[in-house]
Amino acid sequence: MGKFYVPKSRARDNRYLVHVKEYTHYHKEGYLIVRGLLSREDIAGLYELAEQSRLNRPKPDKTADEDNADPLKEEFAKATRIHMLSRLHPAAERGMLHPRIVDVAEALIGPDIYALQSMLFLNPPGKGGQGWHQDSCYIRTHPDTLIGAWIALEEADEENGCLWVVPGSNHEPVYPPDGMGGGNVHALDAFGDLNGVRNVSHLDDDVNTLSKVVANYPPPIPVPLSPGDVLFFHSHLFHRSYPNRTTDRYRRSYVCHYCNARSWVPWDHDGFEGDSGNYRQILARGATHHPYAEPVFGTEVFLADEEEESNSVTMMGMDNGMMMPMGMEKDE
């Protein structure tokens, strides 16, 4: 008889238990705000890492190549956002694998979770911001199970560039941008009218044609957050931020991405060999039949207990879980 897998969460202290209303809000509106999910102590190491990154920026006045068409080129040139610090610093790995963050992801898209990506945002005065976009356009998973977690390291409001979202837009397909390999998460030619968009992530709504789809919805809403608050958001959700309008405040945040660990991941930030990057992604919760990586800095993760995997809930009907015994003939 085959081995059954039980999607059972391992018990531990200080676990965050997601409520049904939170689950339904996430799947209906495309986002979920969990206030105070992380403590000041939890985010202290991330804030310190952000400060050190700010102070040690190699060339804060560096300008981007004029031939570069990336709408975020200046942010990368000035190092106001830094990708994949979780592979370089223990504090960043601990932040990405924080069990209370994964608790929520496990309930929303789990039970099996890959930790895929981390991004540290500094957003100094006058800088930062990203126009309308959908995250699944950039990080593709099949099945498409991507979720983001936006962790506030300090107060984030409209003045210093908090996130803005379009509630309910998570039900839209992912619009493939022209000129970036299609950005497809859907089967090619599955839609009759899924037109490509241009200049996704550009701050100017007159240039970023995804804004025309956003206009079909009620006005977007800001998502102000306090330190330790976490915004979870669906990968199809239209979202953006504006440049920091203050003269004396930063907007430090840490953003991570996860997906169900049963998904095939033809992506990795640092490149990979073969046809998928699954073996580069950390298994943060549960189990998977795919290859996976372990935490580089030894951060504890809570994986499935193999000894309990055979105690599955069976289907109604027969004792062995079958609806009827093999070979049974229907009575005439």
Q: What is the pLDDT of residues 89-128, one digit of tens each?
A: 999 999 999 999 999 999 999 999 999 999 999 999 999 9
Mean pLDDT lowest for which of 79-83, 118-122, 207-211, 293-297? Answer: 79-83
Q: Give residue limits of the domains in the chain.
A: 20-59+76-308
Answer whether residue 35 shows pLDDT above 80: yes
Mean pLDDT, to the nearest integer, of 64-87?
70
Q: What is the mean pLDDT of the chain?
A: 88
Q: Who contacts 321 (Cβ-Cβ below 8 Å, separation ≥6)?
A: 4, 312, 314, 315
196 pLDDT tier (thresholds 50, 70, 90): confident
What per-residue confidence (pLDDT) applies to 316? 46
Pairwise CA distance, residues 282 & 288, whole Å: 11
Of residues 141 and 4, which shows the higher confidence score? 141
Q: What is the per-residue pLDDT for 233?
A: 98
How confident is the model at residue 315, as a pLDDT?
44
Task: Tell me the average pLDDT across 232-239.
Answer: 98
**Is the CB of residue 183 less than 8 Å from the CB of residue 137?**
yes
Can you list the positions of beta strands (E) in 64-139?
81-83, 113-121, 130-133
Please, which pLDDT band fits residue 10 given cuts at 50, 70 and 90?
confident
pLDDT at residue number 327:
47
pLDDT for 314: 44
Distance CA 9, CA 111 (A): 8
Task: Give CA torsion, residues 258, 260, 261, 267, to 10 deg.
Answer: -60
Reported pTM:
0.89
Overall CATH class of domain 20-59+76-308: mainly beta
Sign of the dihedral through C-alpha 206, 212, 217, 223: negative
